[in-house]
Structure 1
Amino acid sequence: MWRLNSTHCFLLLCILSVAVINPVNNKEDEDFLLLTVATEETDGFLRFIRSTKVYNVPTKVLGLGQQWKGGDMKGPGGGHKVLMLRKALKPYASDSNKIIMFTDSYDVVILGPPSDILEQFRALDARVVFGAEHNCWPDRSLADHYPATESRYKYLNSGGIIGYASDLYELLSSHELKASDDDQLYFTKLFLDKDIREKHRIKLDHKAAIFQNLYEAEDDLDIVQGTLLNVVYGTKPLVFHGNGISKLELITLANYLAEYWTAAEGCLGCRENNIEIQKIPEADYPTVVIAVHVAVPTPFIREAFDKILQLDYPKNKIYFFVTNSVEHHNKDVEQLKDNINAFEQYLGIKMIKAEDGIREADARMFAVDYCLAKECDYLLSVDSFAHLDNPNTLKALIKLNRTLVAPMLVRPHKAWSNFWGAITQDGFYSRSFDYMDIVNNNRRGVWNVPYISAAYLTNATLLRKHKPHYDIATLDADMAFCHYYREKGVFMYVSNLEEYGHLVDPDNYDPSRTHPDMYELLTNRQDWEQRYISPEYLENFNPNRTAEQPCPDVYWFPVVTPEFCQSLIDIAENFGKWSDGSNTDNRLAGGYENVPTRDIHMNQIGYDQTWMEFLRLYVRPLQEHVFLGYFHDPPKSLMNFVVRYRPDEQPSLRPHHDSSTYTINLALNRPNVDYQGGGCRFLRYNCSVTDTRVGWILMHPGRLTHFHEGLRVTNGTRYIMISFVDP
C-alpha cells in the first residue's frame, strides 16, 4: 500500500533535528536560542517550524510526545509549559550572556532572523522583556496595578518572552506553580512585584518592536511586501502571536508572511515539500476513494459526473462511494453507476440511494468509514454541484501535499466560491481582505482558510487520527466538518494555482419541471451553453464563413443542440394545452388571432424570461451580423411559441406577413424521419426551405418583404419554435 506522506516526512525531519534546527551563522547568534513548547505535531507547529527555518533561528522544541496538562485556550491554563521551560533553562542557570527567547508555537510565526531580534531586544535596555497586549487577562482586577503607560498595549502577554538565561531561570524558579495553573497570571504577578521587576529589569514590549499580539490589534497592522508593520508605532514586529480568539485572523495574515507568498514571486511556500507524483510508477500511486454526494437537487449533474470519470488517474487505484438523497436524481445516479461499472478497472463502488433515507451527515460519515475500510490513502469528496473541469485536478491536489486541500471552484462571473477567507466568531461567513483577489485569480497560491466545501482532498492519515464530524448542533454538514477540524488545529487549504473547475448554482433549480436544466440559462449560463448551444454556433461569426441563404434575405444558422430541441418538445407536450387553431385565442389581448396555429406560448410553460435572454445572447448577435445597421438591445418579442403541425390537426399555414421586424423559425425535429412534407415557402421569391435542420434557425424580415406560408405536413408531427422579434 502507498504510504509515502511527505508532509509527515518533513515534520519528522524537523523533530529529529529539533535541538539543532537552523545552525547559527555567526558568533553573536551562538548566544541566542529560541525555546518553544509543542506536545503534538499540529499544522500550527509546522507553520512555526517553517518560519524558524526561513529566518535561520536556532530552535529547541520542548515536550513533543508528552501529554499536555496545561488546559486549553478556552480558559486559564498553561502552567505546564512554564515547568518545561524552567527545566530547559536549568543548564543555563549561571549564563548571564546567553539570550533565550520563548514563544508559543501553534499560534506563532517568526518574522525575522536572530540578528534583528537581538538588536531590538538590546535597544529595549532590559534583562527580560515580555510581549504586551490590549487586554488584562485572565484576572482583569489586576489592570490598575500595572505601571502607567501611554501605549495601547498595556498588559503582559506570556506568549512571547526574551531575556538573559540567568535572569529567566531565576525568575521562573522564584515561585512554584502547578501544570494546571495559568502561565499568564503567573508571569503577571511576577511583573507586578516591583522588587522583582526592578531586580531583573523586566519590561513590556509596549510598541511591539519584537512581539506583536494580534487580538484587538488587527487595525494596527498592515503587510507591505511581505513585512508585518505596526502602523501605530512604526515598528516591524519579529514574533507574530495569534493570541486568544485571533487565531483565525492569524491564519489569513500568515499566508503573506515568512516568505510564504510575495507579490513579486508568488507562492513560494507552494513549491515546498511537493509530491512529484509524475515520477512515481502508476503501480505505486496512492489509493483514492472518490465520494460523490448528491444532497440537493442539482442542475447539470450529468456533466459533473462525466468530469469525475474523466479525471486523469489510474482507474485501478480508485474506489467510488456515491450517496444520493434526492429522488429526482435517481436515474442520473444509476447512470453514473453503470458508467463506473463499464470501466472494469475501477476497484469498486458502494452506493447509498435516496430510498435508503440516510441523513446527509451520516452518509458523509459512511464515506469516511468506507475509505478507512479500504485502507485508502486519500478521500476525494465531491458534491454534485462541483464540476472538476480540469482532468488533472486529483493529481494536482496530491502534488500539493496538504493534509486537507480544496481546488478553488467559483460560480462563473460571481464571487461565490467553495471557500471562505474568514469567518465570524460564531463560525459564519466573513469576507477576508484578500478574498476578491483570490477568487478573481489576481493572486494565485495555496491559501490557509477557515472553511472549504464542495470538493476537497483529505489525507487518510488525518481521517485515522481525527475522524471528521458532520453533525454538530444546528450546523450544516459542511460547516460542522470545518468547525471540527478548526477546533482540532487542522489547517484547511484552497488552491487556485490552476483552473480546476467551477460551481453550478442549485439555489433556484426546480426539479418539478420537465427538463428543469432548460430553465437554467440565467443562473448557470456556462453550463447551459455547453449543453444546449451548438458547437458550430461561433462559426457563424467566422469572417471567412459566408452565412447560408437558402432564399433571398433568409439566413440559416446552427444555434442549438438536438437535445435542446427535443427537450423543448417534451416540455410543450408535457404541458399539453395546445391552442385549437381557431381565430379565438384568449391568451392574446383582444382574444383574436388573425393567423392561428396549434401552439403553446413560452409564458404558458414559464419559459418566457429564459427565452428572452436566449434572444438577447444568441439571436441578436446573428441579426446584427447579417442585417447590418439594425441594433436593438435587448430585442423585444411578445409572441414566442412552439408550433405543432399534424395532418389530422393543422397540416399547414396560409400565406401571411409576420408582425415583426424579423422572425426566427427554429426547427425542432427531423424532416423525412419524424414527419413528411412541411417547410416554409416565401411567395414573393417563389423559394422554399423544406429540408430544415434540427437546431438551425431561419431568420428573415417580418413585415412587407417576406410574405410566406407553412407547407403541408403529410405524415408525422412537425415542431418548430417561432419568435416575432421587435414587433
Structure 2
Amino acid sequence: MEYLRFCVFFSFGIKFAASVFSADAPPAFESIPKEKLLILTVATEETDGFLRFMRSANYFNYTVKVLGMGEKWKGGDVGHSIGGGQKVRLLKKAMEALADQEDLVILSVDSYDLIFAGGPEEILKKFKQANHKVLFAAEGLIWPDKRLTDKYPSVRSGKRFLNSGGIIGYAPYINRIVSEWNLHDNDDDQLFYTKIYLDPLKRETLNMTLDHKCQIFQNLNGAVDEVLLKFGTGRVRVRNTMYDSLPIVVHGNGKTKMYLNYLGNYVPNAWNYENGCSGCDDDLLDLTQLEEYPNVLVGVFIEQPTPFLPEFLHRLLTLDYPKDKLQVFVHNNEVYHEKHIQTFWEESKNVFGSFKVVGPEENLSQGEARNMGMDLCRKDATCDYYFSIDSDVMLTNRQTLKLLIEQNRKIIGPLVTRHGKLWSNFWGALSLDGYYARSEDYVDIVQRKRVGVWNIPYMAHVYLIKGAVLRKELKERNYFVLEKLDPDMALCRNAREMTSHREKDSPSPESFHMLRPSKGVFMFITNRHDFGRLISTASYNTSHYNNDLWQIFENPVDWKEKYIHQNYTQIFTHNYLEQPCPDVYWFPVLSEKACDEIVEEMEHYGSWSGGKHEDKRISGGYETVPTDDIHMKQIGFDKEWLHFIREFISPVTLKVFSGYYTKGYALMNFVVKYTPERQAYLRPHHDSSTFTINIALNNKGSDFQGGGCRFHRYNCSIESPRKGWSFMHPGRLTHLHEGLPTTNGTRYIAVSFIDP
C-alpha cells in the first residue's frame, strides 16, 4: 500500500513539474513591471539629506512623489523623541486617490536619512518573492514602546521589530492601513504601524510581514557592525554580512545618520575604485561665467602663539582671487603677534576691500570671536561666502578659494594635514560620545589614495560657508558655543544636528510640541587638490628673539621653506656648487632670512667671547686660536643646529667627498664676529675636525669690507663670500687656513667643526 502511494505521488510530481517548466506554462512568479512601482515620501524642506535621496532615486530612475513640500512641519522632533504622525496623515491623503489601483505597488520611505542602493526591478522581484501584500522594514531594536516586545511574533532568525521608515505593499492594502489614522501630527507614526501589525487578525487579514533578513530594507540603528561596502564595477552596494543580503533601501535611523553619510560617499555611484569620484563635477559653479567674482569675508583666527605667522599672513596676500572682493576680519588673541599684525596691516590695508582687527585687549573667547566673524557675513546681504581660516593653516595652493567656491557646497573645507602624520583637519567618524573615531577610509583620504569630495561629521581650521546658508539654515547666533565642546566641535554639531526648537511664530501652548525636523547641513572635505598643511603649535616657545628658528623639529617643511636657500636642491639636481680651491666646496645652504635671524639672535644674546685664549666653554678651558664668538649651545640652539647639519650638510658631504659617511656630529658650533675694532682676522690654523663648514651670514660690500679665507697649502684665497653660502673643507691635515682681515663694518660667519 505504501509503495502504491509513493508511485501515485511520484507520477503526479512528474506531471506537475512538466507543466511548470513547459514552454507554454506561466512562470511561478510573474514579474511586476517597474512602471507599477511608485515611491511616496514626505519632505517639507529640500534639505541636503533630501537632495541626496533624490539623487540616488534618479540614478535608478525611480518614480517619486514628494508629499508635504513647503508645509510647516508639525510632526515632532523625530530624531530625538516620538513623533512623525504628520507623515501618516500626508500618506493617508495621497492614498485616497490610489486606493483602487490593485496592481500598483507603493514604496513609502523616509527621505532625509535614506538612500537607494538598487533599482526598481530588484526591489519588485524581492517584494514578489516575499509573497505578502505588505512588507515593513525590520530592525533589532524596539521603538518607541519596549513594553510591546512580548507581543511581537517570535522569529527564528532575523530582525524582530517593525520600523516605519520603509513600507512596501499593494496600494489597496497600504490604503487600508493608513485609513485607520485619526491621531495628531505629533503622535508617533511607528507606534501606529506597530499596533496594527501586532494585531494578529489585522496581520493576517492584511497579509503583512517584516523584512526580517534585510532583503529590501537596511536599518542601520543597532546594525552598523553588520554592514559593509561591497565595491563592484559601476556602482557600490551595501552588504549585510549577517544575512548575506544586498539591501536596496538604506536607512540611517536613530543615531546612525553620520554612518549613512559615510555610506553615501560611495553608494550608489559616488565613488568607486574604477572611476574614482563620479559626482565631484556635478553642479559645479563656473566662476568664468559670472559677471564678477563673489564677495568673500575672510575670518582669520590667531588663538595661540603660532610659528611662521608672517608667512601665513603673506599667503593670504598671494591668494589668486580679486583682493577688492575680499573683506578681512582678524581676531588676534596673542600680544606676541601684535607686531606681525601691525606689519601685515601696513602692507595690505589698501589692498583688501576692508580690514578689521580685533585684538587681545577685547578679551574675547574663541567662541565669541568666531561668532563675531560669522555674524559680519550673516548681517551683510552682499557677503556671498564666509571663509574661516586659523593661523596654523599654511595654504600652499593659491587657487584654494576659487576651487572651494567652484565645488558649490554649503560648507566645504580643503584637506590639510600635518607633515608626515595622519593628523588632519577632519574626522571621518564620531564615537558614541561625539568625539574622534577613525572611519575605514580616513587614512586613504588623508593620503589621497581616495580622491573626491567627502561628507564628513567634523572639520576644523579652514572651511568655506555660503553666506545664504548663514542667513537661512544657520541664521541663529552662537553656533560656536555648545555645552563644553570646543568652538569647532560646537559648530559642526550644530550644523549636523540643527537642534530643533520651538517655532517662534506660533503663539499657542501647543507650539512647544511643534518642533522642526533636524536640517542636517552636510559638511564636506575635498582632497581633489593639494591645498597645504597644518603646522604644529603645541610646543611653540616665544622666549627667543626669533622663535621660528627653533621649529626645525616640529615644523620641518615650514622651517625649510623659510630658512633653507632657494637654490639648495639644485646642488643635487644641477650640480649647483663650486670648487674655488682644491677640496674646498662652496654651495648655497641658508636663506637670507635665516642668516639675518641667526645674527639677530646672537646680538640679542650679546655675550661675545672677545677672542680670548681662556675659554671656560670648551674642554680644558684654553683656546689656542680664539675667535670673538657665541656658541650655539649658549643660546639653546645646539640640538637644532646639529639637526640642520644632519639634514642639509650631510647630503652635500656625501656628494663632494664620495664614500665618506659623516656622523653629522660637532662639538664646536658657533657664530664668529669680525670687526676691525675687536678682532679683524684669524691667524693660520688647522681645525679640530674631519671637515669644517663656514657659512657667510651677511653681505660683503654692504655690511663689511675685506674678509675671506686663504688656504696656505694651495696659496688659494676666497675673498668674496656670498651670504647664505657655505664653504666645506677638510679640517685637521691638509687645509691650513687663515681668516683674512675685515677692514670695515662687521662680518658674521657660522662655523662647525664636524666629526671631531
TM-score band, normalised by shorter chain: over 0.9
Q: CA deviation at 1:292?
A: 1.8
Task: Indicate which of 157, 162, 181 corresponds to 2:163.
Answer: 157
Percent of aligned pairs sharing the same letter: 46
2:569 to 523, 535, 538: 538
Which residue of 99, 107, 123 maps to 1:101? Answer: 107
Question: 1:510, CA displacement in angstroms?
Answer: 1.7
- Distance in 1, matches of 2:481 and 2:643, equals 41
Which deviations, in whole Å up to 9, do the C-alpha atoms of 1:36-94 show, x marking residues without a partner? Answer: 11122211111111111111111111122222222221122222212221121121223
Partner amino acid, structure 2, of 1:391: R
Q: What secondary structure does 1:71 align onto?
A: coil
Aligned amino acid, residue 531 of structure 2: Y
**Aligned 1:175-574 pairs, distance under 5 A:** 176-225=182-231, 226-282=236-292, 285-343=293-351, 346-375=352-381, 376-465=383-472, 466-467=474-475, 469-488=479-498, 489-543=520-574, 545=575, 547-574=577-604
The separation in 2 between residues aligned to 1:594 and 1:217, in whole angstroms, is 78
Is the CA contact (8 Å cut-off) linking 2:553 and 2:640 kept in structure 1? yes
Give the drift of 1:520: 1.3
Please name the residue that 2:80 is paired with.
74
**Equivalent residue number for residue 642 of structure 1:** 671
The match for 2:694 is 665
SS in 2 for 1:648: coil
**Matched residue type, 1:230:** N
Q: Partner letter of residue 698 of structure 1?
A: F
Question: Normalising to structure 1: TM-score of the pair?
Answer: 0.92
Q: Does the Cα contact within 8 Å between 2:39 and 2:64 map onto a contact in 1?
A: yes
**Candidates 647, 663, 686, aligned match of 1:617:** 647
Partners of 2:32 and 2:124 within 8 A in 1 = no
Cα distance in 1 for partners of 2:481, 2:191 equals 37
Measured in 1, the distance between the counterparts of 2:447 and 2:285 equals 27
- Name the stretch that deviates more: 248-257 or 326-335: 326-335
Q: CA deviation at 1:159?
A: 1.0
What is the rounded CA distance, in whole Å, between the counterparts of 2:610 and 2:358 in structure 1?
Answer: 48
How far 1:716 moved relative to its partner?
A: 2.6
Distance 1:119 1:576 in 2: 86
TM-score by length of 2: 0.89
C-alpha offsets along residues 309-368 of structure 1, whole Å, 9 cap, x if unaligned? 22222233222222211122212222222232343xx42222212333232222222222
1:54 is the counterpart of 2:59: yes
CA distance in 2, matches of 1:175, 1:348: 59
Matching residue within 695, 719, 729 for 1:690: 719
Which residue of the partner structure matches residue 510 of structure 2?
Answer: none
Separation (CA, whole Å) in 1 of partners of 2:363 and 2:463: 25
- Bigger shift: residues 306-315 or 261-270: 306-315
Is structure 2 residue 713 aligned with structure 1 residue 708?
no
Amino acid at match of 2:655: H
Q: Which 4+ stretches in 1 moved above 6 angstroms? A: none
**Alignment partner, residue 10 of structure 1:** none
Write out per-residue CA displacement over residues 662-705 of structure 1, whole angstroms, 9 at most, x where no aligned residue.
Answer: 11011111233323333222222232222211100000011111
Kindly state the Cα deviation for residue 431 of structure 1 after the two structures are TM-superposed: 1.0
| SS of 2:97 mapped into structure 1 | helix
Are the counterparts in 1 of residues 696 and 748 from structure 2 also a CA contact under 8 Å? yes
Q: 1:178 to 1:342 in 2, by over 3 A?
A: closer
Aligned amino acid, residue 435 of structure 2? F
1:426-476 deviation per Cα after TM superposition (whole angstroms, max 9, x unaligned): 222111110111111111111000111222111111100113611222222
Partner of 1:599: 629
Specify whether residues 584 and 134 from structure 1 end up closer, same or farther in structure 2 by C-alpha distance, changes over 3 A only. farther
- Unaligned 5+ residue runs, structure 2? 1-30, 499-519
The more displaced of 199-208 and 642-651 is 642-651
Q: Aligned partners of 2:260, 2:377: CA distance in 1, in Å? A: 33
Listed one character per residue, the Cα deviations across residues 120-170 of structure 1 (whole Å, up to 9, x for unaligned) are: 111111111111112112222322322222334221111111111111121
Q: SS in structure 2 opposite 1:382?
A: strand
Matched, 1:169 2:175: yes
The 3 A distance-change label for structure 1 pair 165 and 659 is same
SS of corresponding position for 2:319: coil
Aligned residue pairs total: 696
Question: Take 1:504 and 1:289, find their aligned partners in 2: how far apart are those partners?
Answer: 23
CA contact (8 A) 2:41 2:109 kept: yes
Moved more, 669-678 or 615-624: 669-678
In structure 1, stretches of 5+ residues that fail to align are 1-25
